[in-house]
Amino acid sequence: MICAVREIAGKYNIEIGTFGHAGDGNLHPTILTDERNAEEMERVHKAIGEIFDKALALGGTLSGEHGIGMTKAPFMPRQFSETELDLMKRLKNAFDPDNILNPGKVFL
């Protein structure tokens, strides 16, 4: 995965620092970018998609201990089936029927 992240960084001409937890295999590729640069951000978003695809292809997940946030939410269908996503939505609704906990963050 580290080799793949390096290749993706080169392909998109961006800097990616990768750190993580050796004990459980969590990696945290962190893209160093200027969000004011629209062209660079376009490359960053493409790189993010490739990083997630590679992680899933290697048997990994979109997230370890940090959970799914706004950046990863659109990629959930790449890891989870429609049935699994529906179950997650129903569980969220069961525990948060008024949608006051992080509204619009993961499930819209």
Residue 25 banded pLDDT, cuts 50, 70, 90: confident
Domain boundaries, the chain: 1-60, 68-108
Give yes or no for residue 3 having a pLDDT over 70: yes
Query: What pLDDT score was predicted for residue 108?
Result: 60
Query: What pLDDT score was predicted for residue 67?
Result: 76
Using one digit for the tens of pLDDT, what is the confidence trace for 28-87? 999 999 999 999 999 999 999 999 999 999 999 998 777 788 888 899 999 999 999 999
Mean pLDDT over 10-19 rounds to 96
Q: Which long-range contacts (CB under 8 A, 24 or more apart) does 49-57 make?
A: 49/75, 50/8, 50/11, 51/4, 51/5, 51/8, 52/78, 53/78, 54/1, 54/4, 54/5, 54/8, 55/1, 55/27
Using one digit for the tens of pLDDT, what is the confidence trace for 91-108? 999 999 999 988 888 876
Q: Which residue has the higher pLDDT, 69 or 18?
A: 18
Name the residue type at position 84. Answer: E
| The pair of three-digit structure tokens given for residue 62, joined into one six-digit string | 């979109």
